[in-house]
Structure 1
Amino acid sequence: MASSPDRDGLFPRSRSVIGPGAVHVPGWLTVEQQTELVRACRDWGRGPVPFRHTKAGAYFMSVQTLCLGWHWQPYRYTRTAGDVNGRRVAPFPEWLAELGRRALAEAYGDPAAAEDYRPDTALVNFYDEHATMGMHQDKDERTADPVVSLSVGDTCVFRFGNTERRGRPWTDVELASGDLFVFGGPSRFAYHGVPRVRPGTADPATGLSRGRLNLTLRVTGLTD
Structure 2
Amino acid sequence: MFDDRPDDPPGAGPAARVRSEPAPGAVLLPDWLDLAAKLRLVAACREWARPPAGLHSVRMPTGGVMSVRMVSLGWHWYPYGYARVAEDGAPVKPFPALLGELARRAVADAYGERIGEIAGAAAYEPDTAIVNHYPHGAKMGLHQDRDERANAPVVSLSLGDDCLFRLGNTRTRNRPWTDLELHSGDLLVFGGPARFAYHGVVRTLPGTADPALGLVGRLNVTIRQSGIEA
TM-score by length of 1: 0.92
Match of 1:107 in 2: 110
Residue identity over aligned pairs, in percent, reads 56
Give CA deviations for 1:49-75 in whole Å, capped at 9, x if unaligned. Answer: 111111112101000000000000011
Match of 1:222 in 2: 228
Match of 2:7 in 1: none
Query: CA-atom RMSD, angstroms?
Result: 1.4
Q: CA–CA distance in 2 between the matches of 1:87 and 1:111?
A: 41
1:109, distance to aligned residue in structure 2 (A): 1.4
Q: Give the residue type in structure 1 aligned to 2:168.
A: G
Match of 2:134 in 1: 127
Match of 1:68 in 2: 73
From the CA coordinates, give the structure whose radius of gyration is larger.
2
Q: Could you list the runs of 5+ residues in structure 2 that have no partner in the other structure?
A: 1-12
Q: CA–CA distance in 2 between the matches of 1:115 and 1:47?
A: 35
TM-score by length of 2: 0.89
> Which one of the candidate residues 190, 198, 207 is aligned to 2:214?
207
* Structure 1 moving runs of 4+ over 4 Å: 111-115
Give CA deviations for 1:64-96 in whole Å, capped at 9, x if unaligned. Answer: 000000000011100101xx2111111001221
Match of 1:4 in 2: none
Q: Could you list the runs of 5+ residues in structure 1 that have no partner in the other structure?
A: 1-8
Match of 1:139 in 2: 146
Show the 5 A alignment for 1:42-53: 42-53=46-57
Q: CA–CA distance in 2 between the matches of 1:31 and 1:111?
A: 29
- Report whether the alignment pairs 1:36 with 2:40: yes
Q: CA–CA distance in 1 between the matches of 2:167 and 2:80?
A: 21
- Report whether the alignment pairs 1:80 with 2:85: yes
Residue aligned with 1:105, SS: helix
